[in-house]
Amino acid sequence: MTVKTNKIENKFEEITKVKNKWCLCDENNKKIIFNFCEGYKAFLSENKTERECCKYTISQAEKHGFKNLTEYIKKKTKLKCGDKIYAVNQNKSIILFVIGSEPFENGLNILGAHIDSPRLDLKQNPLYEKNGFCLMDTHYYGGIKHYQWLTMPLAMHGVVVKKDGTVININIGEKDNEPVFYISDLLPHLKKENGNQEILGEQLDIIVGNQTTKKDKESEIVIENLKKILKNYEIEEDDFISAEIEIVPSGKARDLGFDRSMIVGYGHDDRSCAYTSLKAILECEKPKRTAVCLLVDKEEIGSNGATGMKSRFFENVVAEIINLTGTYNELTLKRTLTNSYMISSDVTAGFDPSWASSYNIQTDAFLSSGLSFNKYTGHRGKSGANDASPEYIAKLRTILEKNKIFHQFTEMGKVDQGGGGTIAYILAEYGMNVIDAGIPLLSMHAPWEVASKLDIYHAYLFYKAFLKDMK
């Protein structure tokens, strides 16, 4: 369903000066924002892995007339303005194109987000028994605070691939009638000796059973019962060798606050930007410059691997697209990439009054202040950053003003405090103009993160305007 553009009567100067922009929204504006975020909450609740996000994207793309690139290649079908294509990489990354009227050499308008989030992964030989409990061994993925994953209901999502190629989809712990999993913590009554000791990665093993079925000599066997239960899911113990199972928080995204102005959920980083970027391209029709939505894996661990942004997947697919216009050569490909504009759609740190000493109140992003632009990210001294050019930012300011987008230009905490990175610098290596623009979060990388509904909606409005107006 197409959502009407948010109409704000205030002068643009007011939009840029007011910090919390809910006061600029009338009741109709609020209703539009809240309705839009109902779809987002459902997406966040039902798609907790890259594979699930990829499957969802394919289903939505096909409903909106997108066709698989492999069909065009097989039939050698020529592309024309308005054609909609998608390409999938190992079911964990996906690119969508809407072909524009201008030559490819003029460049593309690209929205790029990642669909992986911090989590725990099961190891390849995870199952073991210890003192009457059956546990599964995990390896954490991405930057997490270990203690945050203790004592909460956890779910399993992923796939098991059998030796004969059969794929078993795993989703256990989300429905009310399903079991959940758990990582225990030491009770405060026994904490004197241990104090506030650090939780190590090897302590993040999930409890999966405690029921015995028989007694073997002096030992009560728990693990044998678990192996029998796994067979109900058509899984043998050695099948974990060829499995990809992610341990994530169990439960749905929920409204936060009496005013319901925020959403608490797992995976805002970076599925909030992925969802809004996807919605923007699904509503894109016959643009001047070819529009692209790029949703990738592995950002949380450096964008490496075959499904990460550092792979050649994006470049190879662009080459295939150009080839289907009958104009491919290496120089055309290089000019296309160099002349492109890109928004690295990724979240940023929102100012948190409970931890104010880590932030710079003059320069950091605030929730409900709109989409946040980071000219640079990186660490201390901009190390590892893409640093967007002022000429590019000036063009973006024109789009923001024209479309009355709620926005803020920000940094990420105090200079010496830390920092962060995105996929921006990888695309910038082609020489294209790139900037980070995303949604501010509280508690980023925690099992449950917080975002403002207003910021989510205005991210969507900007991404949509960018694909249409950037030139």
Which residues, 6+ apart, have CB-to-CB distance to 112 below 8 Å?
Answer: 277, 293, 294, 295, 296, 309, 342, 343, 344, 345, 423, 427
Cβ proximity of 426 and 387 under 8 Å: no
CATH second-level architecture of 12-117+266-469? 3-Layer(aba) Sandwich (3.40)
Cβ proximity of 223 and 134 under 8 Å: yes
Domain boundaries, the chain: 12-117+266-469, 119-249
Give yes or no for residue 267 having a pLDDT over 80.
Answer: yes
Q: How large is the angle between the packed helices 313-323 and 330-338, nearest 10 degrees?
A: 120
Distance CA(223)–CA(334), nearest Å, equals: 57
Cβ proximity of 339 and 105 under 8 Å: yes
Closest CA to 208 of 238, 231, 229: 229
Cβ proximity of 313 and 93 under 8 Å: yes
The whole-model pTM stands at 0.94
Give yes or no for residue 459 having a pLDDT over 90.
Answer: yes
- Please give the backbone phi and psi of residue 10, each rounded to the nearest 5 degrees, phi first: -65, 155
**What distance separates the 2 farthest-apart alpha carbons in the chain?**
81
Q: So what's the pLDDT on residue 216?
A: 57
Average pLDDT, the chain: 92
Cis peptide bond N-terminal to 270, omega within 30? yes
Cβ proximity of 180 and 156 under 8 Å: no
Question: What SS3 state is found at 323?
Answer: helix
Distance CA(54)–CA(60), nearest Å, equals: 10
pLDDT per residue over 404-429, tens digit each? 999 999 988 888 887 788 999 999 99
Q: Between the CA atoms of 263, 269, 270 and 271, what dihedral angle is there, to the nearest 10 degrees?
A: -40
Q: In what order do the strands lie in the sheet with 449-452?
A: 254-256, 262-265, 449-452, 440-442, 348-349
Find tokens 């066709």 and name the residue: 67
Distance CA(52)–CA(59), nearest Å, equals: 11
Task: For residue 376, give Cα distances in angstroms to 192, 213, 265, 346, 382.
Answer: 45, 58, 27, 12, 7
Which residues, 6+ apart, have CB-to-CB distance to 184 below 8 Å?
Answer: 150, 151, 207
Give yes or no for residue 8 having a pLDDT over 50.
Answer: no
Distance CA(142)–CA(116), nearest Å, equals: 9
Question: What SS3 state is found at 220?
Answer: strand
What single string gives the DSSP state of each residue in 250-271?
-S--EEESTT--EEEETTHHHH
pLDDT per residue over 211-239, tens digit each? 987 665 555 688 888 999 999 999 999 99
pLDDT per residue over 77-110, tens digit each? 999 999 999 999 999 999 999 999 999 999 999 9
Instruction: Indicate the pLDDT class of residue 1, thresholds 50, 70 and 90.
Output: very low
Cβ proximity of 368 and 422 under 8 Å: no
pLDDT per residue over 107-156, tens digit each? 999 999 999 999 999 999 999 999 889 999 999 999 999 999 999 999 99
Distance CA(169)–CA(233), nearest Å, equals: 10
pLDDT per residue over 299-308, tens digit each? 999 999 999 9
pLDDT per residue over 353-387, tens digit each? 999 999 989 999 999 999 999 998 887 788 888 88
- If you count them, how many residues does the chain have? 471
Looking at domain 119-249, what is its CATH homologous superfamily? Aminopeptidase i, Domain 2 (2.30.250.10)
